[in-house]
Amino acid sequence: MKSLDTKLAIVTGAARGIGHATAQLFKQNGYRVALVDKDKEELNNLSTNDVNEKKFCFDISDSKQLDNMYEEILNWHNRIDVLVNNAGVADFGVIEKTTIDRWNEVMKTNLDGVFLTTQKAIPSLKKTKGNIVNIASISGLRASTLRVAYGTSKAAVIQLTKQQAAELGEYGIRVNCIAPGPVKTKLAMAVHTQDIIEAYHDAIPLNRYGTELEIANGIYFLASDKASYITGQTLAVDGGFEATGVGLPSLRK
Ligand SMILES: NC(=O)c1ccc[n+]([C@@H]2O[C@H](COP(=O)([O-])OP(=O)(O)OC[C@H]3O[C@@H](n4cnc5c(N)ncnc54)[C@H](O)[C@@H]3O)[C@@H](O)[C@H]2O)c1
C-alpha cells in the first residue's frame, strides 16, 4: 500500500472521454487515481502500468456494486480525497417517445448513481476533509428539445450538488459541479447530428466545441485548494453558451 499522505482521486466514467482526461490530469498533479467504469472492453483498452492508477470495473448505478467498489479501492489505497462523479449516459428523444424505461435508464446513472456514489464516499471524505465534483451539463442549465430525460437528470444534479454542499459543509467536505458545453466524445457524437454541431457553433460565443482537457481543468480547479472557499456552485465550462441570449448568429454576420 502507498504512503498515507498520497492523495487519492476517484473518477467515475474514466475509461474514455472527459473522465479519462480528468484522471490523467489528477495523476499528473501527484494524485493516485482510481479509474471506475462499467465498460470492461474500454477499460481493457487502457494501458495502466503506472502504480499510481488502477482500473475498477463497476456500474455506479448499482448500490451493491458500489459497496464492492469502495472495498476494493480502499484495499488498494487507504484514503479518498476527491470524488469526481463523471459517469453519465445520454438519450435524446422527443417527450412522447421517451418511455418510462428510457427515462429510468438515464436517471439511474446520471442521478441515482451520483447520489449513491457520494453517499458511500462520505465516511472516507470526512476523514480527509475531501471534496466532490459532480458533472452536470449545459443541458441542465438551459432547456432544449429532445433532452427531457437527459436535461432533467442534469438539472437535478445541479440541485443535488447544493443539497450535498449544504449538508456536508460542516464536515469540511466541499461539493461543486461542472456544467460542460459540447465536447466531441463518444457520448456526444452518438446524439449530435451535423445540424446540431452547426447550431452549437452558432450559439457559443467562442464558436467551437470544448476539449476534454478544458473540462478536466475546470474539474481540477474546483477540487483543488485554490477553490477552498467555494462550495455548492456550478461552473459552466461552455465557451460562453450559458451567458448568451438570442441573436448571436445574426449579430456575427
Ligand atoms: N461530451 C459532451 O458534450 C458533454 C456535455 C455535457 C456534459 N457531459 C457529461 O460529461 C460526462 C462524461 O461524458 P463524456 O462525454 O466523456 O462521455 P463518454 O461516453 O465518452 O464517457 C462516459 C463514460 O461513462 C461510463 N459509464 C456510463 N454509465 C456508467 C455507469 N452506470 N457506471 C460506470 N460507468 C458508466 C461509460 O462507459 C463511459 O466510459 C457525462 O456525465 C456527460 O453527461 C458531456
Is residue 3 predicted with pLDDT exceeding 60?
no
Q: How far apart are CA 133 and CA 20, in angstroms?
A: 15
- The answer to whether the beta carbons of residues 157 and 114 sit under 8 Å apart is yes
**Closest atom of ligand 1 relative to the 60 alpha carbon:** 32
Q: How far apart are CA 159 and CA 162, in angstroms?
A: 5
Which residue puts its alpha carbon closest to atom 41 of ligand 1?
88
Q: In this predicted structure, what is the pLDDT of residue 32?
A: 97
Q: How far apart are CA 26 and CA 11, in angstroms?
A: 9
Cell of 167: 449538508
Contacts of 38 (CB under 8 A, 6+ apart): 57, 58, 59, 60, 87
* The CATH number of the domain covering residues in 8-237: 3.40.50.720
Q: In this predicted structure, what is the pLDDT of residue 251?
A: 79
Q: How far apart are CA 204 and CA 243, in angstroms?
A: 9
Candidates 70, 150, 200, 220; catalytic one: 150
Give residue limits of the domains in the chain. 8-237
Q: In this predicted structure, what is the pLDDT of residue 248?
A: 81
Of 180, 179, 215, 182, the residue nearest 198 (C-alpha): 182
For the segment 169-189, the average pLDDT, to the nearest whole number, is 96
At position 245, the amino acid (one-letter code) is G
Q: Which residues line ligand 1 (CB under 6 A)?
A: 12-13, 15-19, 37-39, 42, 59-61, 86-90, 109, 113, 135, 137, 180, 182-183, 185-188
**Closest atom of ligand 1 relative to the 135 alpha carbon:** 41
Q: Write down the pTM of the prediction.
A: 0.97
User: What's the distance, CA 214 to chain centroid?
Assistant: 13
Span 189-207, pLDDT tens digits: 888 889 888 888 888 999 9
Is residue 173 predicted with pLDDT exceeding 80?
yes
Is residue 2 predicted with pLDDT exceeding 70?
no
- CA of residue 252 to ligand 1 center, whole Å: 32
pLDDT band at 10, cuts 50/70/90? very high
